[in-house]
Structure 1
């Protein structure tokens, strides 16, 4: 097997490292792209030893001509490139042997649907670098679509609440040209009753959700105010992990310990159940962590939540009424507390209407792609083009040379 090409731009002649932007092959097709036309040009300008080649696509949010207009090469195949950048999982039939790929593989939790994908990666001697695993020295992710998941998720939450109660009709996010167009819809949200909105989480996703609520003019209150005061206007509170969990043996809250040992904690979300009208769930959930609420909770006489936007969309996860993922075009369904069954969205006032879409950033693909490309240029390309001295890429490499990397050896039984 030939030695892999060095990824150091300092010692490379022009165009010696070719990066291919692959056409998304997963069905349904994703309109996002790792690098927009302008970000592609910026990459070439910043690193003279790099050339970006674009695989033609009829569904990408940025048309092929937008790349050509900036002097970028668009061609039907990019198999001659050294590094291939995608977004979603690459279908097994499209994987090119002996290449370095970047994409979200969704394999690190042993997801059954992607077992054959990882097996093919190993069999074809592919180096797989997963965006989800790219972290800095402190362990924080450096690239993600989370902000736009939160933005679209909160928008869909209000869209769903408005439809359920006949208050207003917002244009679906996927029908908006971009974020600016979607924000024009915010002005329709003027007839909200004095409801209480709980937003869980403190990361990128929750941050995106809070952006929307703030721009819609919904006032943020403290957790204490949320629990102990009534308001004559709609308000929201951001609930961090320590606001609705406690250690089982009564120890003081410890965020780091919670992330390391989630099974040692229990949910204390019960006080919010009789106070909350709309729940926007943006918190990352580990399968060992307690569920936010139970199906039995939904039958309590004082249970008040009538609309849930499960932005994280963990099916049968932290929110047990999230029984399945919905779709962009049909983003909601009803859960019937009396029977535990699902029903069409908005079919009865007493039902809980659930918005659960697992690819929310796809609804604003141009904006989401711009942000993602910015993150790649700022936090990944410097390592890609300088030999990865800090191990950023190494930590995110699941497979190389036909083998699982040591950090991901636990996947051996998954692919065995």
Structure 2
């Protein structure tokens, strides 16, 4: 029997769920045993999962009570304990691009003999991601950029619904002639960014990957808002450098880097060195008469947790069911993990 344990998220601002109650019910009906931890922050209450036929466990109990044969499902980073990870885990590990924390996480799996099935590397045969929060990440990132440009961004950030966020975009101060550019405009994340900008009355310049081949940095700097939704799988020349920010013709006042590849060699915006968060969403890159800030929050879709979770879960639950028989999708995921372990010089 396939057994999955949906854990609570350790990050205080993370209100999403990898699996929503409606899709949990579908899995239970297919004979999957689901355990769901109680949570003080998840947007979906525990009783909704109980009504769907799930067993309910105390918050954070996976580390001590989850059978070793169960698959532990989550979204964002694990707590620091236990140090040795024995289960199969499914979550966004962000561990294969040379991120600073990657070796530590991988060594925890190496020490416990567990496996990371990284959602970031759940790929189809064409190399494209099968499940992602892309649309809502782009929508939320562009929304925050608009609010920052209007000087209407309130902190700390709080989660809401997409309708509430859209209302803020529609009814807020509408500056004439505000311009924006979206890099990666034709992908899921880029489409979300473009729709948020359109709600704010801004028709963005839409760049695809081809537009970054012979990069026109002057054009980027000539916009008020820049939203980057392209993540690279190989090093490329930076889209902007620190020297570019001092260009006297710069109009740009806010960057939303949805990809947040900071800290690794694939960062296309090496103008900042740490992610921002809900308490401090904007890092000031330049002050004075032409200020410039960057927004680089790595859980943007949690600003609209219900909508983002439902869209993600709808794509994920059929793939979870395929774990029972095995599939090439999960095999690719496991091979990526083993390759990452081998890069540490350990077993895999």
Taking structure 1 as the reference length, the TM-score comes to 0.74
Contact map agreement 1:328 1:360 (CA 8 A) in 2:
no
Q: Say whether 1:192 aligns with 2:175.
A: yes
CA separation of 1:414 and 1:61: change in aligned 2, threshold 3 A: farther
Alignment match, 2:307: 367
- TM superposition shift of 1:173: 9.7
Contact 2:136 2:304 (8 Å CA) reproduced: yes
Deviations 1:361-400 (A, max 9, x none): 222222222121111024x134213332xx110100158x
Tell me the residue number matched to 1:323. 273
Alignment of 1:99-118 (within 5 A): 99-118=87-106
The count of residues paired between Structure 1 and Structure 2 equals 338
* CA offset digits 1:195-216 (Å, max 9, x no partner): 2211101322212111212333
Conserved? CA contact 2:138–2:229, under 8 Å: yes
* Distance of 2:317 and 2:308 partners within structure 1: 14
CA distance in 2 between counterparts of 1:242 and 1:414 reads 39
Match of 1:59 in 2: 41
3-state DSSP class of the match of 1:31?
A: coil
Contact 2:2 2:323 in 1 (8 A): no
Q: Which residue of 1 aligns with 2:333?
A: 396
Q: Where does residue 5 of structure 2 map in the other structure?
A: 20
Q: Secondary structure of the equivalent of 2:174? A: coil
Match of 1:132 among 110, 120, 133: 120
CA separation in 2, counterparts of 1:157 and 1:348?
A: 19
Alignment of 1:31 onto 2:19: no
**Aligned pair in 2 of structure 1 residues 315, 92: CA closer, same or farther (>3 Å)?**
closer
Cα distance in 1, alignment partners of residues 146 and 19 from structure 2: 31
Q: 2:208 maps to what in 1?
A: 240
Judge conservation of contact 2:282–2:293 (CA < 8 Å) in 1.
yes
Alignment match, 2:79: 91
Matching residue of 2:147: 159
Per mean C-alpha deviation after superposition, the further-off stretch among 35-44 and 322-331 is 322-331
Change (3 A) 1:180 1:29: closer
**Residue 384 of structure 1: SS of its match in structure 2?**
coil
Report the secondary structure of 1:361's partner residue: helix
Deviation at 1:190, TM superposition (A): 5.0
Alpha-carbon offset, residue 410 of structure 1: 4.8
Is the contact made by 2:8 and 2:38 (CA closer than 8 Å) also made in structure 1?
yes
**Residue aligned with 2:75, SS:** coil
Gaps of 5+ in 2: none
Matched, 1:40 2:24: yes
How much has 1:107 moved relative to structure 2? 1.4
The offset of 1:114, in angstroms, is: 3.4
Measured in 1, the distance between the counterparts of 2:117 and 2:105 equals 13
1:284 aligns with 2:234: no
- What is the CA RMSD across the aligned residues, in angstroms? 2.6
Give the TM-score of the pair, scaled to structure 2. Answer: 0.87
Contact kept in structure 1, 2:133 and 2:308, CA below 8 Å: yes
8 Å contact kept, 1:333–1:353: yes
Contact 1:173–1:363 (CA under 8 A) maintained in structure 2? no
Rate the CA distance shift 1:29–1:188 in 2: closer, same or farther, 3 A: closer
- Residues 179-328 of structure 1 mapped to structure 2, 5 A cutoff: 179-189=162-172, 191-201=174-184, 202-219=186-203, 236-246=204-214, 268-273=215-220, 275-286=222-233, 288-315=235-262, 317-328=267-278
User: Distance in 1 between the 2:210 and 2:130 partners?
Assistant: 24
Q: 1:33 to 1:133 in 2, by over 3 A?
A: same
Contact 2:170-2:199 within 8 A present in 1 as well: no
Classify the secondary structure of the residue corresponding to 1:397: helix
Tell which structure's C-alpha radius of gyration is larger. 1
Segments of 5+ residues of structure 1 without an aligned counterpart are 1-15, 164-168, 220-235, 247-267, 337-346
SS state at 1:93 partner? coil
Q: Is the Cα–Cα contact under 8 Å of residues 28 and 52 in structure 2 kept in the other structure?
A: no
1:386 to 321, 325, 345: 325
